[in-house]
Amino acid sequence: MDTLPRQHRIRQSFDSAAQYDTAATMQQVAARQLFAQICTKLGTKAPARILEIGCGTGFLTQLLHERWPQATLIATDIAPHMLKRAAQRVGEAVQYAVLDAASPDIEGPFDLICGNLVFQWLEQPKAVLARLAGLLAPGGVLALSTLLEGTFAEWQAACAPHESGVPYYPSQQVLADCVPPLCSGKWQAQTAVQPFASAHAFLRHLKQTGAAVPRAGYSPLPIAALRRTMQRFDANGHYVSWQFAYGCFQRPVRAGVFVTGTDTGVGKTFVSACLVKAWNALYWKPLQSGLAEEEGDTATVAHLAGCAPTDITPPAGAFQAPLSPEAAAQAEGQCIDVQQLELPSKEPMRPLIVEGAGGLMVPVAEQVMMIDLAVAWGLPVVLVARSGLGTLNHTLLSVEALKQRGVALMGVILNGPPNPGNKQAIEHKGGVCILAEIAHQPHVTPDAVQAVADTLPKWEEILWQG
């Protein structure tokens, strides 16, 4: 059995893959798909500084350089020979460096960090994602592709009952938990099928592409067993499935959070005031309705948190009727232009508390819900929920909606009498952090806000460190 550390074996395997370019068909497919998703995520923004990890022989590097030739592009790989081939493909306008993606020792910030089919080789992927996310500039994008569990399933079936040696690729369930902290985005899966002339051709392909490093502790099949496996593989059609996943994640463009609730009246405004006080934050309520019955949340937060006038951004839309923003605007013969709802850019390093209206699925305009604004703004969400009976359904549905849209969830704040059972269920079933539990406040006053603010985690304690 080979006793070399796995990372050294991976480096050797890729360094010796002299026929990589001609054999790596699916690697090129994945590179083009990842590049397309990067372009969609960035839109019209041109990245000034790009870091590519695991560049191989430069499939993705070439696409990046051709699209953004003026960008400073640093292409890295663990295998020095791969870097030489990338330089031959792309040219010397790109910078090249030997770098282990598992411990990226490089200075940021970068507007784009990307890597094609390198994620599956990482032994501590969540820690690596956090480190890479820390190298992003505000609004920067982290884009990765990976192989998933089920890749080469046909070869594994042919090997049964013996082990196939195929590496342990992450499952979709595991991958869903591998998201860079407080960045918006999600993983998307895709399947591709590749035919081979024979089992010999498939095994030769693995060696040519440097992907023949087996899982740790694997013992090769005896010759007779390998022969039978190859015969079964050929008899079943000699093709394999590739399971890919692509993830594009974006760092918030500024410091701040989007405060929403599981329902109307769960305490969003009180919590917003507490966060403003605890974090010395700015405040913005983009859409306010119900002004015919009350002075509005902006005035309430300003009073409770003791905000200076310059700490408050006025609402972009203010309406009289106590209805959803869309219905309240229609009642006054108006239509909300969501294109005008842009995040305030003042003091971008100072936290901004953005308070939503109602819950996530409250209508804002035709085919636009409050959750769509959360997606567009890209701020991590603080979800306010009741602590008592009925909260599990509302809270877990809200958490699931945020995850489905790729919105980062900073955590949940439970408002009301302590309920350890509900707290544990939300943490476990929703896979979320409970940021705080706020007891019932008999009197909502500035002193009450100050008392709660003193118990909340500090911004620096929960801030994703960039």
Q: Which residue numbers are catalytic?
A: 285
**Of 272, 256, 277, 463, which is closest to residue 348 (Cα–Cα)?**
256
∠ Cα 58 63 68 (to 5°): 120
**Of 96, 119, 239, 245, which is closest to residue 176 (Cα–Cα)?**
245
| Cα separation, 99 vs 115, whole angstroms | 12
Which pair of structure tokens corresponds to residue 152?
């080469």
75, 61 in Cβ contact below 8 A?
A: yes
**Of 277, 359, 350, which is closest to residue 324 (Cα–Cα)?**
359
**Of 210, 211, 223, 235, which is closest to residue 157 (Cα–Cα)?**
235
Helix intervals (H) in 415-457: 420-430, 446-453
> Per this entry, what is the length of the chain?
466
| Cα separation, 258 vs 184, whole angstroms | 12
| Cα separation, 124 vs 223, whole angstroms | 34
CA 94 to centroid of chain Cα atoms: 27
